[in-house]
């Protein structure tokens, strides 16, 4: 007669399976996260290489972050850096990070069918010359937030950058759209996307934003964002819109655990912790704000960062 399993034996087998599952599931999760981190690093590297190819075609000058198509305002659409770099990239999907819970932010207006279309569209039919989804943005110290020709920011030559291999040029966008869209997050109860905006890691002496859009901003000193100020900005903008916080809030400082992948201005990319990038003794966001005429970035003691 065939002997059946006893209840005790079945419980032991189930317990063993449960123990193995408890051991293996975290391993699988870690492996999945590692794969996303690797894919994101590849995207970051491809954006860096595309930038290097762009500057080689444009007299060693970095592009600007975006501009209004009609040189006046947004109603006729934007031209975004993602479209400027697309001739040097294989796919628009490279602008979407597998670690981004939003799978990229949409443009202000619908993305133009033709990413080579830089001409103004009629009001009411505006399209943005920008990829459909975007998980990465530029450092405005190198790739300026120059909306119109009258804005004071200017494009940056490659040779202006002190240490290209240690200067960040692209970063991941925040997982919280409210951190990127500022007070534009809701207008008339509608979300207004602002995924063309470059970021920066500078602030006023009081810890407020410095955007570099107005001439008056160029007459005041700028300071490297401190880790405490950055953490506070991340916490505030995650739950409420605010247009007064430093633009470091646009980034995701911890896409993969305790850090994120960053692209550097020589084209390479690597994983960094936020604290390391903000260290005033080895500041990775630009020794100067190059797009503001090389305006010096100061530490809290008023000395130039190093």
Sign for the pseudo-dihedral over CA of 70, 73, 74, 79: positive
What's 110-124 look like in SS3?
A: CECCCCCCCCCCCCC
Q: Flag whether pLDDT at 40 surpasses 80.
A: yes
Q: What is the pLDDT of residue 6?
A: 80
Residue 234: phi, psi to the nearest 5? -60, -45
- Tell me the C-alpha distance between 177 and 79, whole Å: 20
Q: Which two tokens stand for residue 194?
A: 């602002």
Q: What is the pLDDT of residue 59?
A: 96
| pLDDT, tens only, 231-265 | 999 999 998 878 899 999 999 999 999 999 999 99
Q: What is the pLDDT of residue 194?
A: 94
Pick from 234, 225, 228: which is nearest to 305 by CA?
Answer: 225
Mean pLDDT of the chain: 93
Cα 230 from chain centroid (whole Å): 14
| pLDDT, tens only, 78-94 | 999 999 999 999 899 99
- Tell me the C-alpha distance between 252 and 135, whole Å: 10
Q: What is the pLDDT of residue 3?
A: 67
- Predicted TM-score (pTM) of this structure: 0.90
Is the separation of the CB atoms in 258 and 101 below 8 Å? no
Q: Which two tokens stand for residue 180?
A: 């990127």
**Residue 28's pLDDT band (cuts 50, 70, 90):** low
Pick from 129, 134, 93: which is nearest to 250 by CA?
Answer: 134
Q: Flag whether pLDDT at 118 surpasses 70.
A: yes
Q: Which two tokens stand for residue 102?
A: 């939003």
**Residue 20's pLDDT band (cuts 50, 70, 90):** confident
| pLDDT, tens only, 272-305 | 999 999 999 999 999 999 999 999 999 999 999 9
Q: What is the pLDDT of residue 212?
A: 95
- Tell me the C-alpha distance between 89 and 208, whole Å: 36
Sign for the pseudo-dihedral over CA of 207, 209, 212, 217: negative
Is the separation of the CB atoms in 131 and 95 below 8 Å? yes
| pLDDT, tens only, 123-162 | 788 999 999 999 999 999 999 999 999 999 999 999 999 9
């Amino acid at each position: 007669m065939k002997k059946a399993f006893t209840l005790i034996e079945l419980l032991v087998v189930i317990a063993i399976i449960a123990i193995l599952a408890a051991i293996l599931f975290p391993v699988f999760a870690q492996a999945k996260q590692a794969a996303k981190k690797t894919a994101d690093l590849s995207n970051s590297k491809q954006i860096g290489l595309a930038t290097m190819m762009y500057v080689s075609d444009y007299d060693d000058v970095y592009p600007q972050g975006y501009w209004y198509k009609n040189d006046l305002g947004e109603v006729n659409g934007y031209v975004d850096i993602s479209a400027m770099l697309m001739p040097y990239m294989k796919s628009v999907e490279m602008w979407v990070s597998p670690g981004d819970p939003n799978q990229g932010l949409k443009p202000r207006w619908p993305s133009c069918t033709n990413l080579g279309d830089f001409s103004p569209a009629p009001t009411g039919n505006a399209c943005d010359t920008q990829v459909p989804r975007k998980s990465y943005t530029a450092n405005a110290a190198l790739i300026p937030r120059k909306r119109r020709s009258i804005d004071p920011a200017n494009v940056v030559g490659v040779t202006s950058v002190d240490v290209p291999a240690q200067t960040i040029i692209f970063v991941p966008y925040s997982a919280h759209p409210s951190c990127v869209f500022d007070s534009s997050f809701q207008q008339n109860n509608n979300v207004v996307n602002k995924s063309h905006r470059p970021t920066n890691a500078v602030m006023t002496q009081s810890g407020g934003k410095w955007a570099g859009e107005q001439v008056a901003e160029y007459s005041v000193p700028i300071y490297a964002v401190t880790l405490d100020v950055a953490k506070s900005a991340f916490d505030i903008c995650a739950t409420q819109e605010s247009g007064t916080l430093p633009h470091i809030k646009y980034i995701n400082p911890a896409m993969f655990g305790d850090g994120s992948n960053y692209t550097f201005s020589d084209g390479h990319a690597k994983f960094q912790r936020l604290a390391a990038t903000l260290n005033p003794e080895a500041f990775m966001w630009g020794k100067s704000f190059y797009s503001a005429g090389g305006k010096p970035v100061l530490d809290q003691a008023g000395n130039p960062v190093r």
